[in-house]
């Protein structure tokens, strides 16, 4: 059998990016004379792509989420994302799990709603970019998760065959359902709902478990 394609979400799955996003968001808001938001607030906005983040930041600041500030905040956020990568850290065990999957012949990719260049910058910062055959970002296609097109495009680029999607959130669970793909739910990320409320094939809290999960679920 062909080795599995293992496709990962990024924020809240491979890396804890919320501290970086919080710092960047408050820097952008400060530049507009708006007050800083708390870490839990901004963390709750992560996962649906930059347009959603911008709207949530503006709404939380008492501004029109679709008003004249939208484009200014979006442009400033994306520009900072590409260079201000401090605060992005891999979750424990990620590097070892990826090495074990690669050694087993698995084909690896990232499918994230984060824009492509910032996603690759964050992966490069934490030393993980070279582990993946490709990265598809939220601006790579005309749609983004939970539309299944991103996940299907990533799977196609990996050559098809057996696959599993690894993510942490409601959006990831919905994407897997829409793509009819097995889903491994990392429970230590950014989800808001209880694990029991998210459809998944298997849930895990430690990346040391992932190679065994891939073997049992896909192979």
- Output the tens digit of pLDDT for each of the chain's 219 residues: 788 999 999 999 999 999 999 999 999 999 999 999 999 999 889 878 789 999 999 999 999 999 999 999 999 998 898 889 989 999 999 999 999 999 999 999 999 999 999 999 999 999 999 999 999 999 999 999 999 999 999 999 999 999 999 999 999 999 999 999 999 999 999 999 999 999 999 999 999 999 999 999 876
* 145 phi, psi to nearest 5 deg: -55, 140
Residue with tokens 């990620």: 94
Q: Which residues are catalytic?
A: 9
Q: Smallest Cα–Cα separation from 14: which of 103, 89, 116?
A: 89
Structural domains in the chain, CATH included, are 5-16+88-217 (3.40.50.1000), 18-81 (1.10.150)
66, 56 contact by CB (below 8 A)? no
43, 20 contact by CB (below 8 A)? no
Record the pTM.
0.91
With a CB cutoff of 8 Å and minimum separation 6, the contacts of 103 are: none
């Amino acid at each position: 059998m062909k080795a599995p394609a293992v496709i990962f979400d990024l924020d809240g799955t491979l890396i804890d990016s919320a501290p970086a996003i919080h710092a960047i968001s408050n820097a952008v808001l400060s530049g507009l004379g708006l007050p800083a938001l708390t870490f839990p607030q901004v963390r709750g906005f992560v996962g649906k792509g930059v347009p959603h983040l911008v709207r949530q930041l503006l709404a939380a600041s008492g501004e029109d989420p679709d008003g004249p500030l939208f484009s200014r905040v979006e442009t400033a956020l994306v520009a900072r994302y590409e260079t201000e990568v401090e605060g992005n850290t891999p979750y424990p065990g990620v590097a070892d799990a990826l090495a074990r999957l690669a050694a087993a012949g698995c084909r690896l990719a990232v499918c994230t709603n984060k824009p492509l260049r910032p996603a690759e910058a964050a992966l490069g910062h934490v030393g993980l970019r070279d582990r993946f055959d490709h990265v598809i970002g939220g601006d790579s296609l005309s749609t983004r998760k939970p539309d299944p097109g991103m996940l299907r495009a990533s799977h196609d680029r990996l050559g098809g065959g057996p696959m599993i999607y690894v993510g942490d959130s409601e959006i990831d669970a919905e994407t897997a359902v829409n793509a009819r793909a097995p889903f491994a739910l990392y429970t230590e990320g950014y989800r808001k709902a209880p694990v029991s409320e998210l459809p998944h094939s298997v849930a895990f809290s430690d990346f040391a478990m992932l190679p065994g999960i891939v073997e049992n679920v896909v192979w």
